[in-house]
Amino acid sequence: MATSVSYPTPGPGPAPVVATAGIQAPVQASLWSDAWRRLRRNRLALVSAVYLVLLVAVALIALVHTPYSYRDVGVARPYSGPSGANWFGADILGRDVLSRLMVGAQISLIVGVGTQVLVLAVGVPIGLLSGYYRGLFDTVVAFIINVFYGIPDLLVAMILLLLLGPSLNNIIIAIVATRWMDMARLVRGQTLALREREFIEAARSSGAKPAKILFGHILPNSLGPIIVQATFGVPAAILFEAFLSFLGIGVQPPTPSWGSMAADGLAAIRIAPHMVIFPSIALSLTLMAFNFLGDGLRDALDPRQKR
Amino acid sequence: MTPVSLRILKALAVGGVASLVLVACGGGGGNNSTSLASNQTLSFPILSDFGTLDPAIADAETDTEISQNMFDGLVKFDENLNIVADLATAVPSPDSSGLNYTFTLRHDVKFSNGDLFTSKDVLYSWNRAAAMQGAYATNLSAIDGYSTVSSNTASGAALEALLEKNDPSVTLKGLTAPDPYTVKVKLATPAGWMMTALALGGTTGWIVDQNAVKQDFDNWWTNPATAIGTGPYKMTARVPKQSVDFAAVDNWWGSPKPTVTKVHLDVSVNDASTAITKYEQGGYDAVGYGGYSNLPVADVLRIQGTSNEKAQLTLQPKVRTYWVSFNMVHDAKRQAGGPFLLSDGQAAHDLRLAFALAVDKTKLVSVVCQDIVCTPATGGLIPPTLIGYMGANQDPLAKFDATKAKQLLQSADPSGAKTKGLTYTYDPENALNKPTAEFLQSQWHDNLGVDVSIAPVSHSQFIKGRLKGSYVLSRDGWQADYNHPQDWFDNLWGNVVGCPDSSCTTGYDTKAYDTLLAKADAEAMPAALADYKSLNQMLIDDVVYIPLYYSVGSFLTKPYVKGFGTNAFFDHYWNEIQILSH
Amino acid sequence: MLTRGTLIYIGQRLVIIVFTVLVVSSIVFLGIHRLPGDALFNEHLHGTQYALILHHYGLDRPLWDQYTSFLSGLILHGNLGESLVNRGVPITPLVLREFTVSAEVGLFALVFTIGLGMTLGVVAAIRQNTWVDYVLTTTSVIGYSMPSFVIATFLLLVFAVWLDNLTQGTFYFQIGWTGRFGTIGEIWLPAFALGFPYASIVARLTRASMLEVIRQDYIRTARAKGLRETVIMVRHALRNALIPVITILGPLVIGIITGGVIIENIFGIPGLGKEFATSILNRDYNIVIGVFTAYAAMIGVANLGVDLAYVVIDPRIRY
């Protein structure tokens, strides 16, 4: 039984825990209901899921209402700590930290989820095609993947942003450009293993079109590892943006990202630690939640589990 | 902190250079606080590695404040900002025509490599600087023959070859040396400002050694072996981007004789807060030279709140102003374009005025500077205490009038098309620049309804890009070199010196301005003052700038360091610094 | 273990490394070498100076020409060119010097990561579900869920400021880097900050895999045979638990390298990471290319080391 090991994505943030997945037998209804049952029993994953739902709610609320406008300067004395008027204090320009955290949630979710959606859109088809058809296309793709496997993605992203200029869109592009390879690699591996299986052979000989084989048979059987990889990719992307913000090429003002809020607050950490603490907690909780959820999904979808 | 016995041993071993070292007598109490330490090493950080130390082309304050200790000029400023003789024996007055100066040189001056300093070095240095056309080459512009030399296009080794054979294309006609210790200067027109310009530290007019320079015409200053000058300190080691070391020159000819024997510059820490932490640990003796005079507000607030460290903090108003510049010229060289062009007439003028009036400068100073590290620039760009300062609240561009601003915007850009997609560019190295940029962005958004993005560009690239006219809106600033309005009006606008070279960010250059400026430059004070005032009014009428604030420099000095610090214009010379025993 | 086969394998890998370095170098070179907006573009140069400078750097020649001379310079002389911003500064000595610095901190961080991470993982596994386990697990989760620049700044605050004040200047972490090789006192905290997030991951991984291994039959057999608990743990369980750790060693090294960009910035360490960030911002393309080449070499060698470590750990693997 072939095992495909997908390496944790190398990057500025710590690599997520190794996701190992076995190749399962043809999809059965019981896999998903089994998985769901196991996931429900994982308390940590449940709590994380609840937290994330709340986070999305906060992000949505921020679209219509925040205590202050996130960009209003001087609503409180700069550097002032938490108070009745400003629950999380004020930042270097006297803006309300809580309001900025709420809008920052939008940015984190957009960056995190947006990049993974694009990574899926780019990496999955390439991986499928590459693994199924082999040939020149596969050689080229494999070559690209192997070369870039050894290049730190932060460095490449920095160069890309140097050229494109920092903005939310460009950051997403830069992250996707450095991350799609991991997904393609995973999917390619899965495809390579699956295409030799009998049920694929059967489908082929019964005249099924390649598209149907790819998307109707191979893809559904690889969904588990793909979902897990994407789930781990979200916190990695959010952390990536935080690093870019620290280096000055992250999301630009007035848009607040948790990373840029923390980075800007570093200089004043000794007189106004709240400027760093609250964005950092927001980041940590969110990253932890995604990581625990990923762990839970991986365990739930692992068919080697006996329970 | 070395134990006493080791100190004594060191003092004995070092001998000659440290001849002034006094060791605390015996063990009894004594007057420790005024006796000198045996280890006279001064260590402080600088923000980034040098742009250039070559006096011919240096123009960055951070560089010249280092190089002013390596080189000398015929005259220089003392700490009270009087012009005094340096390499010359006296500050000459011109003859009755106002065109002829005679400098008598000292006989005892040696370069740090032992070469004797004579008049040929003055000729070489000045001709070379005029031919290289650095930012301050205009210090020599009054000399007869400057227009010929300034149109030189040769550079590098080719230029050196021309200088060696005294080619007329690179030789100032009005500069002659009848004997090794006399230099005669003949001006084309009288220039009351010339002595001041020659006294500027580390820039054009200061003396280099041809023997050293010709070994590597462009990069001689990067290498301790060839970075030769007549100053009290010479470079002894350089690890690029990590550190630079200097040592006092043995038996230096000038005075006061250097007490500090070694100066260690740390380049590797380029974050102000980390530098301050390292200072507090004892890793540095002082912070504030070399670009660090703008300590982050948070640290200033914190230190002011302590009991013991507070005394080490000095806040010194610097004659330095910050403002916003518009790109006002669009041509083949200046690519940025934008809606603020002078050529777009009244509409562009109203737009500039709208942007200027929409900024609440008092609020800026209160929020960004906490009213400590800057004060609102309400009296024009020339700061208080300098000639040309308009007086508090006299600058109409410093007013805050959101209503009028909005009206102007409506009339100048009713559809909002012109003010779409604007960017304000700044360099983030100075801790105040980013908060200022964000503040401006919020003001234009709140009071005008215009969305301006802000873009950080690293300092070295920013300074150059600004001059190339690459930015529509940019941070701008100027530190006065000397107390004369010419320093501002010549360098920043108009084509006498400024545009298209030097420091002309806006490209602003009108016939009226240039004519009046030429007139003002030729006059002596106080007649000139009236003309400079008119020039000021032109800038205001054309809304050439948005004034922001006058800067206050912040320095940290350990209690055992004496003499470190600054006057309003420049940092104190290193040979005035002493390390007390501690 | 150092069989002829292994030596051949090492030789082959070294060739591949050199090849990869050249490929990466070429890609970066061709990609950004003469892109608009480089450091020279904004130069305020007089007369023929701009043309002369372009000529000096060879930037006025056709791209293919520049590329071949870059390659030959690199292969034959190890010459990476000259900095665009700091004139007269040759890049190769600069990169080598900073490489030493980064490699030192990185190696310390790596050793610390694996050592501490594995130790804590083992401890947590042995003491599963006790308070020790909970504390360690929580700490490790925080470790990889917080941006490293926050952790690093916090550590700096504790060890460089508070400790200094607390002990009146006797014990504290000294910021900075002296000389070529630094001192232990200057390395340990940045290495710790650099390695901490990865140590957390290693700890979690080790814990999980130890837990799995402990349940295995051969462990039960060993216990039944009467072997001491520690012997069982170390000789049998640990060895097998090491394998997943070695698996992520490659990405770990890459992570430490990228983490270095942030950490070196905060601690003021003159290494490759800081150089890269500064050069990108200053648009000193020559240095960017040089640093990238150095990184490619580092990673290639590190991956080779990882694969060799596999040989040591897992006797079934032969080359």
Tens digit of each residue's pLDDT (9 = 90 or more) over A243-273: 999 998 999 999 999 999 999 999 899 999 9
Q: Does B371 touch chain A (CB under 8 A)?
A: no
Looking at chain A, which residue has its C-alpha nearest residue C204? Answer: A17
For residue B2, give both structure tokens: 């070395």
* Interchain contact, C47 vs B266, CB within 8 Å: no
For tokens 């996130």, what's the residue? A70
Q: Do residues C56 and C64 touch, judged by C-beta distance below 8 A?
A: no
Look at residue A1 in the predicted model and tell me its pLDDT.
Answer: 27
Backbone angles phi, psi at C85, to 5 degrees: -95, -50
Q: Is A211 exposed, middle or buried (0-12, 13-18, 19+ CB in 10 A)?
A: exposed
Which amino acid would we find at residue B349?
Answer: H
What lies within 8 Å, CB to CB, of B54 at 6+ separation is B134, B208, B218, B220, B221
Q: What is the pLDDT of residue B164?
A: 93
- Give the pLDDT band (50/70/90) at residue A240: very high
CB contact under 8 A, A288 and C141: yes
Using the predicted structure, report yes or no on whether residue B1 has a pLDDT greater than 70. Answer: no
Quick one: pLDDT at residue B354?
95
Question: Which residues of chain B are within 8 Å of residue C161 when distances are taken between CB atoms?
Answer: 277, 280
The C-alpha of C94 sits at a distance from chain B's nearest C-alpha, in angstroms, of 7
Question: Touching check for C191 and chain A: CB below 8 Å?
Answer: no
> Looking at A174-183, B548-557, C200-209, which range is the least confident one?
C200-209
Say whether A17 and C205 touch across the interface (CB within 8 A): yes
First-to-last C-alpha distance (Å) of chain A: 20
CB contact under 8 A, B370 and A78: yes
Rounded distance between C-alpha atoms, residue B476 and residue A55, angstroms: 42
B236 band by pLDDT with thresholds 50, 70 and 90: very high
Cross-chain Cβ contact B298/A71 below 8 Å:
no
Look up residue B578 and give its two tokens. 């002493």
State the CB neighbour count (10 A cutoff) for residue B227. 27
Q: Which of residues 4-23 of C touch A (CB under 8 A)?
A: 20, 23
Verify whether the Cβ–Cβ distance C176 to B283 is below 8 Å.
yes
Q: Which of C86, C96, C264, C283 to mutate to test the interface with B (most CBs of B within 10 A)?
A: C86
8 A C-beta contact, residue A257 and residue A242: yes
Residue B77 dihedral angles phi and psi, to the nearest 5°: -90, 140
Tell which residue, B284, B239, B2, B244, has the closest CA to residue C181. Answer: B239
Query: Would the CB atoms of B283 and C265 count as touching at under 8 Å?
Result: no
pLDDT band at A92 (very low <50, low <70, confident <90, very high): very high
Closest-CA distance, B317 to chain C, in angstroms, reads 29
Higher pLDDT, A14 or B405: B405
Higher pLDDT, A151 or A250: A250
Residue A13 has pLDDT above 80, yes or no: no
Asked if A267 and B295 count as a contact pair (C-beta separation under 8 A), the reply is no
Residues ≥6 apart with Cβ < 8 Å to A206: none
Give the pLDDT band of residue A303 (cuts 50, 70, 90).
low
Label the pairing between strands B473-479 and B422-426.
parallel
C161 close to A (CB below 8 A): yes
Looking at the complex, report in whole angstroms how far the Cα of residue A280 sits from the nearest Cα belonging to chain C.
7
- Tens of pLDDT, residues B47-77: 888 888 999 988 888 889 899 999 999 999 9
To the nearest whole Å, the CA of C58 is away from the closest chain A CA by: 22
Residue B90 burial (CB count, 10 A)? 11
Smallest CA–CA distance, residue C175 to chain B, in Å, is: 6
> Closest Cα to residue A99, out of A116, A122, A76?
A76
- Tell me the three state secondary structure of residue B6: helix
Q: For residue B92, what pLDDT is reported?
A: 93
Interface size A-C, in CB pairs within 8 Å, comes to 140
Touching B (3+ Cβ pairs <8 A), the chains are: A, C
Rounded distance, CA C264 to CA C268, Å?
A: 6
Residue with more model confidence, B29 or C182? C182
Unique residue bearing structure tokens 């601003």: B405
Half-sphere exposure for B483 (CA within 13 Å, toward CB):
15
Query: Which residue is listed with tokens 């215009």?
Result: B450
Compute the distance between CA of residue B51 and CA of residue B41 in angstroms, rounded to an integer: 25
Q: B304 Cβ partners below 8 Å, 6+ apart?
A: B310, B313, B372
The pLDDT of residue A19: 43
Mean pLDDT of chain A: 84
- Work out the average pLDDT over B92-103: 91
| Contacts with B294 from chain A: Cβ below 8 Å | none
B250-304 pLDDT, tens per residue?
999 998 999 999 999 998 887 888 899 999 988 999 998 887 888 899 999 999 9
Query: Which is higher by pLDDT, B19 or B323?
Result: B323
> How far A71 CA sits from the closest chain B CA (Å)?
7
What pLDDT shows up at residue B23?
32
**Does A226 contact C at CB distance below 8 Å?**
no
Q: ipTM of the predicted structure?
A: 0.84
For position C123, what pLDDT does the model report? 84
Please tell me if residue A17 touches chain C, with a CB cutoff of 8 Å. Answer: yes
Task: Please check whether residue C124 is in contact with residue C207, taking contact to mean a CB–CB distance below 8 angstroms.
Answer: yes
To the nearest whole angstrom, how far is the Cα of B358 from the nearest Cα of chain A? 14
| Residue B273 Cα, gap to closest chain A Cα (Å) | 6
Contact: C258, A11; criterion CB under 8 Å: yes
* Band (B15; pLDDT cuts 50, 70, 90): very low
Say if C166 is an interface residue toward chain A (CB within 8 Å).
no
Asked if pLDDT for residue A18 goes beyond 60, the answer is no
* 3-class secondary structure, B123: helix
Chains A, B: CB pairs < 8 Å: 59
Q: Does residue A15 sit at the B interface (CB-CB below 8 Å)?
A: no
Sign of torsion, CA B63 B163 B207 B152? negative
CA distance B269 to chain A (A): 14
- Token pair, residue A81, equals 């700590």
Task: Enumerate residues 6+ apart whose C-beta is below 8 A from B114.
Answer: none
Give yes or no for a contact between A205 and A116, defined as CB atoms under 8 angstroms apart. no
- Chain C residues closer than 8 Å to B156 by CB: 49, 52
Instruction: Tell me whether residues B367 and A165 touch, CB distance under 8 A.
Output: no
Q: For residue B367, give how far its alpha carbon lies from the nearest alpha carbon of chain A (Å).
A: 6
Dist. CA A162–CA C32, nearest whole Å: 10
Which residues in C lie closer than 8 A to residue A5 (C-beta atoms)?
247
The answer to whether the CB atoms of C94 and B281 lie below 8 A apart is no
Chain C residue with the nearest C-alpha to that of B59: C44
Decide if B51 contacts B63 (C-beta within 8 A): yes
Backbone angles phi, psi at A158, to 5 degrees: -60, -45
- Digits of tens for pLDDT over chain C (319 positions)? 567 777 887 888 888 888 878 888 887 888 777 666 677 766 666 656 777 777 888 887 888 888 888 888 888 888 888 888 887 788 999 999 999 999 999 999 999 888 888 888 888 887 778 888 888 888 888 888 888 899 999 998 899 888 888 888 788 888 888 877 888 888 999 999 999 999 998 888 888 888 777 777 666 776 777 666 666 666 667 777 777 787 788 888 888 988 999 999 899 899 999 999 888 888 888 898 899 888 888 888 888 887 777 767 666 655 5
* Predicted confidence (pLDDT) at residue A12 exceeds the cutoff of 70: no
Task: Note whether C24 contacts A: Cβ–Cβ < 8 A.
Answer: yes
Residue C34 — φ and ψ, nearest 5°?
-120, 30
**pLDDT exceeding 70 applies to what percent of chain A?**
88
Chain A residues within an 8 Å CB radius of C304: none
Is the minimum CB–CB distance between C285 and chain A shorter than 8 Å? no
pLDDT of residue B264: 95
Q: Among C142, C149, C265, C282, which would you mutate to test the A interface (most chain A Cβ atoms within 10 Å of its Cβ)?
A: C149
Residue C1: per-residue pLDDT: 54
Average pLDDT, chain B: 87
A79, B438: Cβ pair inside 8 Å? no
- A 33-62: CB under 8 A from C: none
Is A158 touching B (CB cutoff 8 A)?
Answer: no
* Mutation target vs A (from B270, B276, B301, B400; most A CBs, 10 A cutoff): B301
Whether the per-residue pLDDT at A10 is higher than 60: the answer is: no
Quick check: A253 contacting B, CB < 8 Å? yes
Nearest-CB residue to B438 (from A254, A271, A272): A254
Residue bearing the bigger pLDDT, B447 or C165: B447
Q: Where are the beta strands (DSSP E) in chain C?
A: none
The neighbours of chain C, by the rule of 3 or more Cβ pairs under 8 Å, are A, B
Q: Which of B47, B281, B491, B497 has the most C C-beta neighbours within 10 Å, making it the best mutation to test the interface with C? A: B281
Instruction: Flag whether residue C243 sits within 8 Å of chain A, measured between CB atoms.
Output: no
| C-alpha to C-alpha distance for C154 and C149, rounded to whole angstroms | 8
Give chains near A: 3+ CB pairs under 8 A.
Answer: B, C
Closest chain A residue to the Cα of B306, Cα to Cα: A271
A165 touching chain B per CB within 8 A: yes
